[in-house]
Amino acid sequence: MSRRRWAAGLALVAVLALPACKASEESSASSGYEPFELEEIEGSDALKVILNELAAQRIQLATEPVATSGDRLVVPESAIWIDVEGQEWVYTNPEPLAFVRAAVEVDRYEDGRAFLTDGPPTGTEVVSVGVAELIGSEFGI
């Protein structure tokens, strides 16, 4: 009997939550809230992703500077993403809340770091947390 009550309670919560979700979506749409905007970059197929402050806070966006180790550039492994064609990328942070995709070449991964043979210069800020959200924003997925 208790399983039936639990299942009925769960169904009731789901039914009651649906109108709230719909109202939240309508409220966001009517308020004009957009967590990001895109800007074309002349001479590039990449788009600049510009987040608003609330969006950056919500995804807990974090950056780290490109470092060096010997003759290699070093970034957090979490900064690297690989597209469907096998190209490796990072998102740079050239100005506050603005992010631009940059191609990199990874030599190896070691202890949570990616050692690059090519990439942004030392000191360039790259996104280490929030990469998936920037990909989704830039590519509309």
pLDDT in tens, 7-22: 333 333 333 343 444 4
Number of domains in the chain: 2
Of 4-13, 31-40, 101-110, the range with the lowest mean pLDDT is 4-13
- 3-state SS assignment for residue 77: helix
* Three state DSSP letters for 3-60: HHHHHHHHHHHHHHHHHHHHHHHHHHHHHCCCCEEEEECCCCCCEEEEECHHHHHHCC
- CATH code of 93's domain: 2.40.420.20
* 66 vs 33, more confident: 66
> Is 7 in the same domain as 67?
no
Query: Using one digit for the tens of pLDDT, what is the confidence trace for 43-102?
Result: 988 999 999 999 999 999 999 999 999 999 999 999 999 999 999 999 999 999 999 999
What is the span of the domain harbouring residue 92? 34-139
Q: What is the mean pLDDT of residues 101-116?
A: 98
